[in-house]
Amino acid sequence: MCPGGLAFGTHRVLGWGMRAVIDIGTNSVLLLLARRGPDGALEVLRDQSTITRLGQGAAASGMLAPSAIARTVDCLAEYRATAEAAGAERIIAVATEGVRMARNQRDFLEPAAEALGVAVRLLSGAEEAELSYLSVARETPGGGALRVLDIGGGSTELVVGEGTEVRAAASLAVGSVRMTERLFTADPPTPEMLAAVRAEALAAFEASMPMTPVLHALAGTATTTAALLLELAVYDRMKVDGSRFTVAQVQALRDALAGETLAQRCERPGLERGRADVIVAGVTILLAALEHCGADTLVVRDRGLRYALV
């Protein structure tokens, strides 16, 4: 069980009907509709991402902007309608760093609960880290040592474990939106700006736990990196999940993206417009993590805490 008694993440009975899990992040809101059959296999009916940028400006101001709240609440209302139309028996909704760092959390949590018909649970950094780890560990045959990285818009979670047991976890105030808003003031970013993101990310990682040469990464920065390296015009989670890349491949992609203007990045197939402005900082954080652990292999997983919750 996760710290804080996150009991709804521990259901292991084989065979249950449709459930909806909604993960409200700093940059995007994710909807997972899934069920388990009698054999225990997870059947995913829908895995959807909508970029609402809930945390826009929140790291600097400490407040969620009314326009960002409105965008996100509208998205939640649409997700509820989708879940109900699919026959979901239960809706579970959680929020992460985008809401954690805001002083006006209630301004979002109250209308969000009204839109969904259920309360939104605000996860701690430790809970977010553990759930991200379990989303990979529970679907990785054979168990063994795992190192999992979850780069979000507002924070990055770094977890070390063995099988489904978490040994150490850290939630760090380093994220693609947070770093872009604070450190990128030119388009395209200058080498000095890239170096500043790398230095800040490395400092955060070095204050956390040691890691090993193979790194499993999930969430939008990692899956977008994989989609771009695989040259997918249309995102395909089956091709992305489990894909492996060298550090040199990731570095070459980051350098290419950093050399483009935002308008040029927006023209890249497989790169969402709502992520094009923060992808350079995100991949720079990813490179810093690979550097920190001495990794020569990146394994990208299309998972995330929504899979642990469902």
Residue 94 has a pLDDT of 97
Q: Which residues of 90-100 are buried (b: 16+ CB within 10 A; e: fewer)?
A: ebbbbbbbbbb
Q: With residue 22 as reference, give the H or E element that holds it.
A: strand 16-24
Give every CB contact of residue 263 below 8 A, 6+ residues apart in sequence: none
CA angle 157, 248, 241 (to 5 degrees): 50
CB atoms within 10 A of CB 139: 14
Q: Full-prediction pTM beyond 0.85? A: yes
Residue 246 has a pLDDT of 96
Mean pLDDT per 10-residue section of the chain, whose length is 310 residues: 35 68 95 86 89 92 96 98 94 95 96 97 93 87 81 91 88 92 94 95 81 83 95 91 95 96 92 91 95 90 89
98, 55 in Cβ contact below 8 A?
yes
